Amino acid sequence: MKKEIKFLFRASTVGEEVEEVWQILNNYSWYKTNGYSLNIPKDKKIDNLIQISLKEKGLQRKNRNQIKQIIQDTYDEKYFKNGLNVLNSLRQDIHRCFPKFVEYEKLWKFGIHKTYEVIITLYGTEGSYDVQTRRIYILIKKGDQPKRNYFFQTIIHELVHIGIEDFIKKFKITHNEKERIVDLFCSREFKIKKYILQNIGDIRIDNYIVSGGFRNLPLALKKYVRDFPR
């Protein structure tokens, strides 16, 4: 039976922006260690919180009040308008990717859900996801006209993350290995124009996947973890 997939596109709320910035600052060391480019409010109070996070290896929930005040003072729905227009123009393109997801759902249980939310945010990494809520967060910068290909690439990248998350847990794949798997999936299975492979991905996994293709991903990962024990 054909799956009916629904997407909700919306702007991040003030509360969600506060939570995003707090999570980034609380885990600032991890993001920098793993090579992430971060977009956060330009404010001396934020700079101070970064130093506290690095020194104390995290923040306390009370630090949220400072972040909340900064976000409330600068939040404006107009910053999201162009991004929402681009998202709506991509709806059909995104749906065209799902037959490929269905193919791998049948082969090795790629995860497909009935509904997804794509949320535009002013802060964070270029893209992120939450498996439990099926939410995808995509970054837009104030004053920028978002590019369709960037939005499309980011959304498909995060959809693949959500789809493989449960499947690859049993292989104990590292963060960088997972990023490489997702990049290879997007660039090879969808041949996305000008798809940018991340520098943080672990390229040791390439030969295992490329030789057998994604139809044989379970076998490829089994061989990979055999040669590179966890």
> What is the per-residue pLDDT for 1?
43
Phi and psi based region of residue 12 (left: phi greater than 0; alpha: psi -120 to 50; beta: remaining) = beta
The residue type of 208 is Y
Burial of 218: CB neighbours in 10 Å, binned 0-12, 13-18, 19+:
middle
Total domains in the fold of the chain? 1
In-domain check, residue 160: yes
pTM (two decimals): 0.90
Q: What is the mean predicted confidence (pLDDT) over 191-210?
A: 87
In-domain check, residue 1: no
pLDDT tens for each residue of 67-99: 999 999 999 999 999 999 999 999 999 999 999
> What is the per-residue pLDDT for 191?
83
- Closest by CA position to 155, among listed 134, 174, 175: 134
Find out whether 49 and 21 touch, Cβ atoms under 8 Å: no
**H or E element at residue 174:** none
Q: What is the mean predicted confidence (pLDDT) over 58-75?
A: 92
pLDDT tens for each residue of 15-39: 999 999 999 999 999 999 988 889 9
> What is the per-residue pLDDT for 194?
83
Q: How far apart are CA 21 and CA 50, in angstroms?
A: 11
- Its sign, for the CA torsion 135, 137, 130, 67, is negative
Q: Which segments of the chain are extended strands (E)?
A: 6-11, 115-121, 127-130, 135-139
In-domain check, residue 48: yes
Q: How far apart are CA 145 and CA 127, in angstroms?
A: 17
DSSP 34-96: TT---B----HHHHHHHHHHHHHTS--GGGHHHHHHHHHHH--GGGGHHHHHHHHHTHHHHHT
Residue in this structure with the two tokens 């681009």, named with its chain if needed: 86
Strands 127-130 and 6-11 come out as unpaired
Write the DSSP symbol of residue 195: P
Q: How far apart are CA 41 and CA 212, in angstroms?
A: 44
Q: Which domain holds residue 146?
A: 6-227
In-domain check, residue 120: yes
> What is the per-residue pLDDT for 201?
81
Q: What is the mean predicted confidence (pLDDT) over 43-70?
A: 93
Residue 199 has pLDDT above 90, yes or no: no
> What is the per-residue pLDDT for 2?
59
